[in-house]
Amino acid sequence: MERLLIGSLMSMMIALSCAAAPLAPSKEDSLVYCEIAGLAYGGQRDLTGGVAARIAEKAGLTSEDPDCGAIWREAYQVGKKVGFGGAPTDAEFRKWQRLQNFEKKVFDGIIKSMAM
C-alpha cells in the first residue's frame, strides 16, 4: 500500500508540474510557486510546500534566487501568521486563497492518481 501511495504521489507530482508549468514558463509565472511554497511551509503544510518548491525548482528558482528567496521569506511569515489563526490583511487573505486553491489541486491529483 505504501509503495502504491508513493508511486501515485510521484506520478501526480510529475503531472502537476507538467500541467502547472508550461514548457518555457516566464520567471514571473514561476515566482508564484515560490510564494505558495513559503506560505505552505510557514503554515506547516509540508506536502503542498514540497510540491510548489519542486515546481519552482524545475523552473530554475530556489531560495538562493534573490527574487524567489525574498518572496518565499515574506510568504513564510504570512503562512505562519494565517496558518495559526492570525487575522490576515486583504492581501494576505488573497495569498492564502492561492495556497488553498493550489493545495486543492495537489490533493485532487493524488486522489485521482489513486483511482478513487
pLDDT in tens, 31-46: 999 999 999 999 999 9
Are the C-beta atoms of 44 and 83 separated by less than 8 Å? yes
One-letter-per-residue 3-state SS of 74-106: HHHHHHHHHHCCCCCCHHHHHHHHHHHHHHHHH
Question: 14 or 84: which carries more pLDDT confidence?
Answer: 84
Give the pLDDT of residue 18. Answer: 47
* Residues 10-37, mean pLDDT to the nearest whole number: 67
Q: Say whether pLDDT at 20 is over 80.
A: no
Contact assessment for residue 13 and residue 58, using Cβ atoms and an 8 Å cutoff: no
Q: Where do the structural domains in the chain lie, given as residue ranges?
A: 2-113
pLDDT digits (tens, 9 = 90+) for 66-75: 999 999 999 9
Amino acid at 108: D
Predicted TM-score (pTM) of this structure = 0.76
